[in-house]
Structure 1
Amino acid sequence: MDQIHHIRQLYYEQDKNISEIAQELHLNWRTVQKYVDMEDFNLPQPAQKPIQNTCPKLEPYKPLINSWLQEDKKAPRKQRHTAKRVYDRLKVETDAFDCSYRLVAEYVKDKKKQLHLDNKDKGKLPLIHHPGEAQGDFGSADFYENGYKHSGKYFVLSFPYSNQGYFQLNYGENMECLLEAMAAVFEHIDGVPEEIWFDNTSTIVTNIIKGGGRSVTERFLRFQEHYGFKAVFCNPESGWEKGNVECKVGYSRRNFLVPVPRFLTLADYNKQQLLEADHDGDRDHYRKDSTIRELFEKDKQALLPLPHIPFELAGFISGVHTNGWGKFSLNKGTHEYSVSPRHTNTVVTVKLTSKTVTVLDENQKEIVTHKRLYGEGHQESMEWLPYLNYVSRHPRSLMNTGIYTMMPKEMQTYLSGCEGPARGKVLKILSELTERTGFDSALQTVNQAVAYQVTDADSLKNLYRRLYADVPELPPMKLHAGIPQMKQMTADLASYDRILLKGGVANG
């Protein structure tokens, strides 16, 4: 540019002609004329890197190679194509293939980097998301199930490439809630993300190893290997590394959890929310010139297939000891569950889902099932049916067992007033009522019996029918206008006395 500036200065400022300038600077006159007439002084665009593998002989085979490598993303690592395998297949499966192995190897190497199939190339640019990647996180939300309020959690699985997201509401944030929510989304979208980003939640991560590694729970590792996805964990206190799902947690709460949801069953509600999330994909992407649904199709194309073998989502705890009351505790003693009088001071197996706690005997047969407890502080779940069944067969020993002292005060008062064979009948009826509609209904019936001061079994049955029998109340019958109305008549009891006296019967 210094020389160009000097040429133009000699011409425009010192009025020298082109020949004089060429002679003075020892340049060709055409060169001088070029820079004198030059009007565009923008820097030239940077030269593009030469495109590799442009050999026209390989071009017809690239779509086939690309399809093989794309399928490799769904295959186990040891069953993916090497460059040699690609070269051998092209020679066998295509006609007139005559490219060199070196040309094929260079193309396969570059293509694997684009598809992130090269295990040696671990580097990724931040905030660059590829189809098939997902992020997961929990949020908090209240909800009412069948009229009962829960302070629950909801798990969100988002896809940053398309900005599609799905959430599942649950009672808490334990392992069962996490696995059930993830499996439900996988089944709904008919595939598994190749890679899922998480934070360092204690539900999954048990220890952060120096150097960036993570120790995770065995159940999560088994779930991960079964479905085949790669779990990636953010740096500690670095939630922005999974910013898409952080935003999606807030978006789901504002758009689907306001007002506070009310429904009959959580399972039906969660199924409906998966469909609502599909419909939400019809809106435009916030940055790309397309809808979320259209972009999500590329996400779905990159998903791994669902496993053929179902994964057991429930957790099992073996070697659980019961106490002298036939009870055991979970969650560091805060949640207590009953078993049965036959299983005091023994060992049982506990099966956990997000909703239930099922107790199994030594033969893996169900003893009793509880609704799972959530929340802080000591709580107790008591299933009375096994206890009532036991004492109904041994009514005389009721007062000498710990079962009597465990009962609510109202039931103690009622049963203490029952004597002899009547107590056995009453206990049997209470057992039947508990099995039919639950212990609360049996207890309410007992409260009514105490109020009416009745202790026999038949009265207990009748009181239960009055409280819980589904007998519709019929409306008053409407008479046709042509039917005459009955006159109100007042009975004269003195007339009856006179009639009785005539018959020789005295009026008592």
Structure 2
Amino acid sequence: MLAVAEINYIRHEVNKKDCTYSDVAKRTGRDPRTIKKYAEMEDFNQKPKKKQNRVAPVLGPVKSLLDEWIKEDMKKKKKFRRTAKRMWDLLKDNHGFLGSDRTVREYVAMRKAEFLNEVNDAALPLEAVSGTAQVDFGEAPFIYGGEDIVLPYLVVSFPFSNAFYFQVFPSQNKECFLEGMKRVFHYMGGVPKAIRFDNLSPAVKKILPNGERQLTDEFQNFVLHYGFECEFCNPNSGNEKGHVETMVKYVRNNFLLPGLHVINLDDLNKELWATAEKDRERKHYQKEWTISELFEEDRAAFLLLPPKEYECVRYETLKADKYGYIKVDLNLYSTSPRYALGKVLVKISYNKVEILNDDQQLVVSHSRMYGQYRKSMKWQPYLNLMAKRPTALKYTSFYDQLPEEWKSYFSACTVAEKPEALKLLSIILKDHDFSVITKALVIASEHGHPSVDAIKQVFYQLINGRGIRSDIKPNISLPKLPEATRGLDHYDQFHKGMDA
């Protein structure tokens, strides 16, 4: 395009002064065809420049392969990504590439920048972008242990495909929140690249100015471990995660009403994977594809799982009371007599409360309880103390929990036997339940009241798979001996034989 002043001069000389194209060309030093073009031009609207698609005969055939490698690497940590030099080596060695390393480096740098821009744009979960998710809790009625209760369920939804997963939990606490997401990640075999949340207390400790969030330590570590981008709604703006809120209602109305009978939550949650996947065989409400087909695009955009699974637990140092109980939430859990009035390290997950010693070895494990004040007592650590006061046995809840065989045995024990039996149970119950040691007691009692050592011997024979040795019955025949008689007749007969 010529300068505006030069174009005006050409149009003036040709159209106003009737000069020939050749004359004006000589004066301006331009080609006569250029003079003709601008003198007769009628459309001066600005037009966008056409992108030049230059043919790349060497690089062209491998561009799609390089794109694939770059996208694969963007799912990995930086230290695990292929360098442009490494890509060039692979192309040379495996694909007969003849181009220079500089050509590959320039292309890789350009495409990385383009893909990063796409990822940044895609990190807004409000848009239906593949590989992104939204998370929230819902509540539904259940019949559990014969009682009508309300339990929360965690929903992870995928706006691009309209797919979802959900899991039922006893609470909406940090451990259940993280456990639910972790289960979904590992079941899918990948991690959404961006996840939108409400300002849930398990994730957000405090909302700061300028839209910043102070995250809970557990959630921050979880995010770092799995590497996804987390976004939060503005306060009181649940509509910003409208997809998952819709899915929460959809899940409750279609799968959880009326209230399900629940015997074991873990068994129920195993069934819910198939429930969610079966729902995907319908068409998307807008797109002409099934949800299951669209979810494959979501899956293709996921980040890779880290090599190690995250442990959704928190550690607390708590003080035990004089009986050795510690309090977690509103409930009491036994530790060991040696921790009475002392501090103990507690490992807390969504379903367990574990007491650890100073070397972080397990002392005792409890199932985690939810609801109002309850008490969990594990007697094994207390049995050695009880062995010093055996007369107190009948007045403990441990005695009520004993199998009838053991109650009968303790009733028949001598004063000396009771402490020894309690010490044996202290050792056995550390790694085993009552089933095998009770069987050992029954077998050892076949010939009367057994000693503690006899019960112990039978127990170890049972767990080592050697069985119980039966009485030995020799399989040999002995010569028949003459009947023994009293008196001296046999002596007289002996002498008669000698005289003959």
TM-score by length of 2: 0.63
Is 1:108 the counterpart of 2:104? The answer is no
Equivalent residue number for residue 394 of structure 1: 389
Structure 1 gaps, min length 5: 1-45, 409-413, 438-456, 458-508
Deviation of residue 365 (structure 1)?
A: 3.5
Is 1:133 the counterpart of 2:132? The answer is yes
Shift in alpha-carbon separation, 1:88–1:321, aligned structure 2, 3 A: same
Shift in alpha-carbon separation, 1:346–1:63, aligned structure 2, 3 A: same
* Structure 1 segment 44-83 matched on structure 2, within 5 A: 52=51, 54-57=53-56, 59-77=60-78
Shift in alpha-carbon separation, 1:390–1:130, aligned structure 2, 3 A: same
- Taking the aligned partners of 1:251 and 1:213, their CA distance within structure 2 comes to 31
Out of 348, 352, 360, the residue aligned to residue 364 of structure 1 is: 360
Equivalent residue number for residue 380 of structure 1: 375
Deviation of residue 64 (structure 1)?
A: 2.7
Q: Deviations over 1:421-443 (max 9, x none)?
A: 689969979x98x9649xxxxxx
- Taking the aligned partners of 2:354 and 2:108, their CA distance within structure 1 comes to 57
Deviation of residue 162 (structure 1)?
A: 0.5
Is 1:347 the counterpart of 2:343? The answer is yes
Equivalent residue number for residue 464 of structure 1: none
Equivalent residue number for residue 286 of structure 2: 287
Shift in alpha-carbon separation, 1:303–1:388, aligned structure 2, 3 A: same
* Structure 1 segment 101-500 matched on structure 2, within 5 A: 104=107, 108=111, 111-112=114-115, 115-116=118-119, 127-145=126-144, 147=146, 150-317=149-316, 319-331=317-329, 334-375=330-371, 377-384=372-379, 386-387=381-382, 390-396=385-391, 436=434
**RMSD over equivalenced CA pairs, Å:** 4.3
- Taking the aligned partners of 2:346 and 2:112, their CA distance within structure 1 comes to 51
- Taking the aligned partners of 2:112 and 2:46, their CA distance within structure 1 comes to 24
Conserved in 1, the CA contact under 8 Å of 2:125 and 2:132? no
- Taking the aligned partners of 2:122 and 2:308, their CA distance within structure 1 comes to 34
Conserved in 1, the CA contact under 8 Å of 2:141 and 2:258? no
Return the letter of the residue paired with 1:364.
Q
Deviation of residue 133 (structure 1)?
A: 0.7
Return the letter of the residue paired with 1:178.
F
**Secondary structure class of the residue paired with 2:214:** strand
**Secondary structure class of the residue paired with 1:184:** helix
Deviates more, 1:248-257 or 1:221-230: 221-230
Conserved in 2, the CA contact under 8 Å of 1:348 and 1:360? yes
Shift in alpha-carbon separation, 1:59–1:105, aligned structure 2, 3 A: same
Return the letter of the residue paired with 1:362.
D
- Taking the aligned partners of 1:307 and 1:102, their CA distance within structure 2 comes to 28
Deviates more, 1:67-76 or 1:295-304: 67-76
Q: Deviations over 1:244-281 (max 9, x none)?
A: 11111111111121121223321121111012211111
Q: Deviations over 1:455-496 (max 9, x none)?
A: xx9xxxxxxxxxxxxxxxxxxxxxxxxxxxxxxxxxxxxxxx
Deviation of residue 87 (structure 1)?
A: 8.7
Conserved in 2, the CA contact under 8 Å of 1:169 and 1:266? yes
- Taking the aligned partners of 2:47 and 2:325, their CA distance within structure 1 comes to 74
Deviation of residue 172 (structure 1)?
A: 0.5
Shift in alpha-carbon separation, 1:94–1:209, aligned structure 2, 3 A: farther
Conserved in 2, the CA contact under 8 Å of 1:205 and 1:215? yes
- Taking the aligned partners of 1:47 and 1:105, their CA distance within structure 2 comes to 34
- Taking the aligned partners of 1:195 and 1:56, their CA distance within structure 2 comes to 37
**Secondary structure class of the residue paired with 2:209:** coil
Structure 2 gaps, min length 5: 1-44, 401-406, 436-448, 450-500
- Taking the aligned partners of 2:151 and 2:161, their CA distance within structure 1 comes to 28
Shift in alpha-carbon separation, 1:190–1:79, aligned structure 2, 3 A: closer
- Taking the aligned partners of 1:48 and 1:394, their CA distance within structure 2 comes to 99
- Taking the aligned partners of 1:275 and 1:146, their CA distance within structure 2 comes to 25
Deviation of residue 344 (structure 1)?
A: 0.9
Return the letter of the residue paired with 2:321.
N
- Taking the aligned partners of 2:156 and 2:397, their CA distance within structure 1 comes to 49
- Taking the aligned partners of 2:290 and 2:68, their CA distance within structure 1 comes to 26
- In the alignment of these two chains, the number of paired residues is 374
Conserved in 2, the CA contact under 8 Å of 1:83 and 1:109? no
Deviation of residue 292 (structure 1)?
A: 0.4
Return the letter of the residue paired with 1:354.
Y
Conserved in 2, the CA contact under 8 Å of 1:160 and 1:244? yes
**Secondary structure class of the residue paired with 1:274:** helix
Q: Deviations over 1:301-359 (max 9, x none)?
A: 11122222232223222x3211112111123xx32222233431122221212112122
Conserved in 1, the CA contact under 8 Å of 2:125 and 2:134? no
**Secondary structure class of the residue paired with 1:211:** helix
Shift in alpha-carbon separation, 1:102–1:361, aligned structure 2, 3 A: closer
Conserved in 2, the CA contact under 8 Å of 1:192 and 1:227? yes
Equivalent residue number for residue 8 of structure 1: none
- Taking the aligned partners of 2:61 and 2:50, their CA distance within structure 1 comes to 16
